[in-house]
Chain A
């Protein structure tokens, strides 16, 4: 089935199984920055941004992306280099597996209007880091929001 959507700012038409999950589809397009973690929508490693909101690509059927505005870490990194800088400067990563998801979630934080430290913490709680370097991740998000 042909699905049309905007992917990282480019109009895209794909001939795919609409019941495939977005994670497999974007990785199949060599956008391998999006990582699979838990595979059940809990950990946040595979976060993509859809119409400005964070979405777990591992439980997102690609058919439901029709006509939507979809961003992966590759597009976010290009569009928001200052967000990447915040994560680098605050050392908001350790092993790196959760980092693309953390950054995409941070990019989509405007969707919930979180601004103070407590709201940021509540919003980012859905993105797990098993190295448990949470404080530097939160600092990176706070730094990004303070600058922008």
Chain B
């Protein structure tokens, strides 16, 4: 096997210059890349490590937006107080991924680009309307995270595009939550995870906008649009929450595997969406 060239750029523009080779890949923390490389599922001739690109790291908050740089780790997201206050679902998701070692290494941008549909973070981010910023040598673009995924380990990114940050709009009267369920060990991928968000109207009681997003039950994170429609206009009373959770069964598309049968996952998707919505209301 030919050896892999390991590049250590210190700026985004240098990183974009480095990626110009066909089979080059960007490297964040390396938790997923190391596994794929060890098993020879990928054999890049060049790896562009982003660990020294300081402009990609960190979390900033303005009056309207929270921005998370792409090389920010899961541990850093989970420990951030502003994110915990504004987006408890995002904070919870970042804090349950894998184990403390994975959270210390794994970066947000790496996780999003890896696009494993069982990941905890995407449903939590999609629920609160996150947008991905992407740069390449030919320009930049913004992609709503809900439109980012195309299939199992597939995104809309082209090989030369770099995820630079995720931005989340701060909305008044928004409550959000993320809950996961796994019957195996705590560090495993979930059977199902449910990220939900409710935005209340000026009266503080009527739901004006709702989002429910599921991981683990399809080849991409799944938006339960019908559940959202049922919630809008209601006060989040228990009967409505149950109807919304019921509607999740038809939105998901799970497969049988060691984390449960398709029927079981459908049931758990419904149960955990109900609990996630309850958690929004109680937050």
Minimum C-beta distance from A101 to chain B (A): 9
Q: A59-B31, A59-B35, A64-B29 are in contact. Are A18 and B6 (CB under 8 A)?
A: yes
B residues less than 8 Å from A56 (CB atoms)? 31, 101-102, 105
Q: How many residues of A contact B (CB 8 A)?
A: 33
Q: A21-B38, A112-B75, A112-B79 are in contact. Are A63 and B49 (CB under 8 A)?
A: yes
A53 within 8 A of B: yes
Minimum C-beta distance from B27 to chain A (A): 7
B20 within 8 A of A: no
A105 within 8 A of B: yes
Could you say which of A39, A60, A63, A105 contacts B6, with CB atoms under 8 Å apart?
Answer: A63
Contact (Cβ within 8 A) A47 B101: yes
A1 within 8 A of B: yes
A residues less than 8 Å from B3 (CB atoms)? 17, 19
Mark contacts of B115-157 with chain A using CB atoms, 8 A cut-off: 1 yes-contact digit, 0 otherwise.
0000000000000000000000000000000000000000000
Mark contacts of A120-147 with chain B using CB atoms, 8 A cut-off: 1 yes-contact digit, 0 otherwise.
0001011110000000000000000000
Contact (Cβ within 8 A) B27 A42: no
Q: A59-B35, A61-B30 are in contact. Are A126 and B105 (CB under 8 A)?
A: no
A residues less than 8 Å from B98 (CB atoms)? 41-42, 126
Complex interface residues of chain A between 1 and 32 (CB less than 8 A to chain B): 1, 17-19, 21
Contact (Cβ within 8 A) A125 B99: yes
A56-B8 Cα distance, complex, nearest whole Å = 22
Name which residue of chain A comes closest to B28, CB basis.
A64
Could you say which of A17, A19, A55 contacts B101, with CB atoms under 8 Å apart?
Answer: A55
Contact (Cβ within 8 A) B75 A126: no
Residue in A21, A61, A66, A127 whose Cβ sees the most chain B Cβ within 10 Å: A61
Q: A64-B49, A112-B75, A126-B187 are in contact. Are A59 and B30 (CB under 8 A)?
A: yes
B84 within 8 A of A: no
B residues less than 8 Å from A58 (CB atoms)? 34
Q: How many residues of B contact A (CB 8 A)?
A: 30
Name which residue of chain B comes closest to A64, CB basis.
B30
A residues less than 8 Å from B79 (CB atoms)? 112-113
A40-B37 Cα distance, complex, nearest whole Å = 12
B residues less than 8 Å from A47 (CB atoms)? 101
Contact (Cβ within 8 A) B187 A125: yes
Contact (Cβ within 8 A) B33 A42: no
B65 within 8 A of A: no
Could you say which of B75, B99, B105, B187 contacts A60, with CB atoms under 8 Å apart?
Answer: B105
Contact (Cβ within 8 A) B34 A21: yes
A42-B104 Cα distance, complex, nearest whole Å = 14
Residue in A44, A59, A127 whose Cβ sees the most chain B Cβ within 10 Å: A59
A40-B36 Cα distance, complex, nearest whole Å = 10
Name which residue of chain A comes closest to B52, CB basis.
A66
A61-B34 Cα distance, complex, nearest whole Å = 6
A50-B98 Cα distance, complex, nearest whole Å = 18
Name which residue of chain B comes closest to A113, CB basis.
B79
B186 within 8 A of A: yes
B9 within 8 A of A: no
A55-B188 Cα distance, complex, nearest whole Å = 17
Q: List 15 A-B contacts (CB under 8 A).
A: A1-B6, A41-B31, A44-B101, A53-B75, A53-B101, A59-B35, A60-B105, A61-B30, A61-B34, A61-B37, A61-B47, A63-B49, A126-B99, A126-B100, A128-B185
Using A55-B105, A61-B33 as known contacts, list a sample of 12 further A-B pairs with CB atoms less than 8 Å apart, ordered by residue number in A.
Answer: A19-B3, A41-B98, A44-B99, A53-B104, A59-B31, A59-B105, A63-B8, A66-B52, A111-B100, A125-B187, A126-B187, A127-B99
